[in-house]
Structure 1
Amino acid sequence: MSTTPLATSSDIALNLALSLISASVAPVLLLDGDLSIVAASQSFLETFDIGTDRVAGVKMADLGGGEWNTPPLWALLKATAYGQAAIPAYEMDLASPSGSRRLVLNAQRLVYGDAQAADKGFRVEAHDFPAEATGFADAVNGLLARLDEAATRQEAFAADVAHELRTPLAVLALELDRLDSPDGQRLKRDVSALSRLVDQLLILAQLDAQAAAPAAAAAVDLSEIATEVVSQYAALAIDEDKALALKIKDAAVVEGRREAVAAALRNLVENGLRVTPPGGVVTVTAGPGARLSVIDGGSGLAPERLAALSQRYRRGDHASPSGAGLGLAIVARIMAAHGGRIATRPNQAELILAFPSADRNRP
């Protein structure tokens, strides 16, 4: 069975803009954040006598003979691109080889791209659109609303299923505590593995919902995440005759989903404890900057090996026999959803979660 991923509202917004430009009878340009041209309407090309081969990817300031490179217009467009203002009716004189003409320009920011924080609930503002395009814009807004609803239902369903599974598993684990036998211990490990699998599937469902309709990100303190995860696994490390160390090095605050970031670090700590021999140390470091890292007592992962293990159902040499092969795949998905990446330094047996800083995400 093959599946087709849901288009995000970012994709829909971009496709809407391209469709409107192709259908528009008015001179229209679509610019990216650097004010380079993504697309131009046929009317724009004909009105200003510009060939199609001299448009896509060209900065607006370099269009034609440079007549569009006027500092006031450039400043206004930059402000619009960063969401600071829209241009309702800017008048300017455009000088060109064919003569001078008076123009009235309108500009509005249309957000699209990867994992924009405002995607969920995003709607196209159609009040400035030509009359022939408003019906199409309304239809797309209806589609965006249904996409948001579908993503919300998917996340709620995953949470309900996880809750229904966690409760009996927790009760079963308590009952198994009464069995002081090898079989009882084995069953407790199996129940623990099932609980972990439920948590992993819930995270995957949440990430899929987030990809379809991203919700607003929250501030995540990486030092708090590291402290919390180390506290959770300290007892397990002691039981296995291993040490779990924590280092805080001026860690940053990033934007994202706190529970997802914590889950990514938990996966690395679990893997680190698994490959570290008794008497060894697993070190969790928050910082410097927007990063978390785990150094363990294993042999390290080469970049190509890390890339292979980041695929679903690929298992490492020291993987838990009761696992489902989802650990590093989930970590990779979480990092991609946050605009970051998982990296390795095999000579130091270190895995790194590198995030974009919160400041970098702001215009």
Structure 2
Amino acid sequence: MAARSPISTEEAGLSLAMAVVASSPGPLLLMDGDLNIVAASASFARAFEVDTDSATGQQLSSLGAGEWAMPQLRSLLDATISGAAKIEAYEIDLRRAGRGTRRLVVHAEQLVYLDMENRRLVMAVSDVTDARADEKIRDDVLQQNLVLLQEVRHRVANSLQIIASVLLQNARKTQSEETRGHLHDAHHRVMSIAALERQLAGSGDGVVDLSAYFKNLCDSIAASMIGDSKRLSLRVAGQCGVVDARVSVSLGLIVTELVINALKHAFPEGRSGTIVVDCNFRHANWSLSVSDDGVGMPSDPALIRIGLGTSIVEALARQLEASVEIGPARPGTRVVIAHTPIALVESDAEGEAEDDDRMSAIGRPAG
């Protein structure tokens, strides 16, 4: 029996590579330095309807009816085989006559082993056409839902304005000063909520820029409650942030209640002054304040009444896991809503970086 000639390490390595490629469950090609196909997996042959035996020795660009002859792909593969690059998740469209276009993701890398003179490259191909189609369907459904939500908010705002008009008409008809005051308060609240809904209807991406949001809200309140803009002014200051629409609703209601309260009590008997809505956002840590330069709070705590507006603000703050602090502004009154779950140390830059990783997404600085 003739002795079998010894197999070199290079031959053994190539044989092993070919066997691995041939048995791969995913579409896989092994090519030489000239991009001639050395081996093709059975899954590649099934997916792209090529014969593995006839494909061996062919150029990649010659496969099928030439659909793999893509200049950009060829350039990337040449760079990869030379060691100058590595293809990671490169997406291409495979177009074949009589068939739908397939979206493919290509990975390619030069093989480095003992046979350095003969360069080889392995290319893996994934068909993501169906996955991309599913993503598009989900995106389309999401967009439809957003449009529907905006339409609902718009209709709600219109309905609230009608309700506000009815309340105002009833306030004008009533003979009771107390009832008239309650109806006016209800009218202002309904109008403010209608303004909130209109602004939220315009935030199609699900987030709200608080700076523009508060400014529009305060303009709406001022238009309905401040008769003389030279006597009373309402403005927004500070570094506001960007928050989810859900959070912006609570913050908007808080601002509405505090501003209305200041307009009702801070400037009696025609007194002039200013109300300032100030916000400061630093990731998860934020504060929101409404201050006035009016008459201030009674010096006797027994004279301080907890009204409906204060109760609403405290309930909304609890939902946001924030605290409420009411105090003098010298002159006037200042109410601060603060959300401080993270203790930041200014001098510790590394600590801040760690905190940033753990911050919740309730708000972030507007960019």
TM-score band w.r.t. shorter chain:
0.3 to 0.5
**Per chain length, whose mean CA-contact separation is higher, i.e. which structure has more relative contact order (CA < 8 Å, sep 6+)?**
1
Going by fraction, where is strand more abundant, 1 or 2? 2
